């Protein structure tokens, strides 16, 4: 295994933890959304609006298929673990950590975000239904489930860092 993937719903802390983990382990950090934004020169809402969600999902899979083999951290987008092919690529090329949060925490973090088209088009109830629907697939994709409720970003980062070193060297 070479890559460290962080999966979980929007607002579960994938990017914030990924950046800290990258500093802790001294390996590069990639944010899938940011990489897709750089490649296309468009924002995520613009990509959804111009090409539609299915095309965005294709871009995510292409990113996973093509990404070079290196020891690094990848914060995935919240929808990445929904595709069987994506789950398979991640599990075969790295260690997958699922950041488990409560919907309450997630809603507090994302409800006013205008850069997330799925939040923009959903009511609180819609988003909670999506969260519940996705959860089993995050669990299916992950090697390790990480609880985030009432834990600091640093605490979570230390825990994942420890597990990465343990599993990589052991
Ligand atoms: C999405 C999550 C977003 C981004 C896009 C779609 C989703 O990533 O990929 O807005 O379907 O859950 P984050 O989880 O980083 O917000």
Total number of residues shown for the chain: 170
Q: How confident is residue 170, by pLDDT bands cut at 50, 70 and 90?
A: low
| Nearest protein Cα to ligand 1, atom 2 | 78
Cα angle 160-99-108, degrees, rounded to a multiple of 5 = 130
Pocket of ligand 1 (CB under 6 A): 10, 14, 33, 44, 77-79, 116-118
For the stretch 108-161, pLDDT in tens is 999 999 999 999 999 999 999 999 999 999 999 999 999 999 999 999 999 999
CA–CA distance, 119 with 103 (Å, rounded to integer) = 13
Question: How far is Cα of residue 165 from the mean position of the Cα atoms in its chain?
Answer: 20
- Evaluate whether 146 touches 13 at the Cβ level (below 8 Å): no
pLDDT digits (tens, 9 = 90+) for 38-78: 999 999 999 999 999 999 999 999 999 999 999 999 999 99
- Closest residue by CA, ligand 1 atom 10: 116
Q: Which long-range contacts (CB under 8 A, 24 or more apart) does 130-138 make?
A: 131/9, 131/103, 131/106, 132/103, 134/9, 134/78, 134/79, 134/81, 134/82, 135/9, 137/81, 137/82, 137/87, 138/7, 138/8, 138/9, 138/81, 138/98, 138/100
What's the gap in Å between 102 CA and the centre of ligand 1? Answer: 17
Which residue CA neighbors atom 1 of ligand 1 most closely? 78
Kindly give, in sequence order, each residue whose CB lies less than 8 Å from that of residue 61, ignoring residues fewer than 6 positions away. Answer: 83, 85, 86, 89
With a threshold of 0.85, does the pTM exceed it? Answer: yes
CA of 116 to the centre of ligand 1 (A): 6
The closest-lying atom of ligand 1 relative to the alpha carbon of residue 76 is 15
């Amino acid at each position: 295994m070479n890559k460290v993937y962080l999966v979980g719903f929007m607002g579960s802390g994938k990017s914030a933890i990924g950046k800290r983990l990258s500093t802790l382990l001294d390996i590069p950090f990639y944010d899938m959304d940011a990489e897709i934004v750089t490649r296309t020169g468009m924002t995520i809402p613009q990509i959804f609006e111009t090409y539609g969600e299915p095309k965005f999902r294709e871009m995510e899979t292409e990113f996973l298929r093509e990404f070079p083999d290196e020891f690094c951290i990848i914060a995935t987008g919240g929808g990445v673990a929904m595709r069987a092919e994506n789950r398979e690529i991640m599990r075969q090329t790295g260690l997958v950590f699922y950041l488990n949060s409560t919907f309450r925490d997630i809603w507090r973090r994302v409800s006013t975000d205008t850069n997330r088209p799925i939040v923009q088009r959903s009511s609180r109830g819609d988003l909670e239904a999506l969260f519940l629907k996705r959860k089993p697939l995050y669990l299916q994709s992950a090697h390790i489930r990480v609880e985030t409720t009432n834990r600091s970003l640093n605490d979570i980062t230390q825990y994942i860092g420890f597990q990465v070193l343990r599993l990589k060297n052991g």
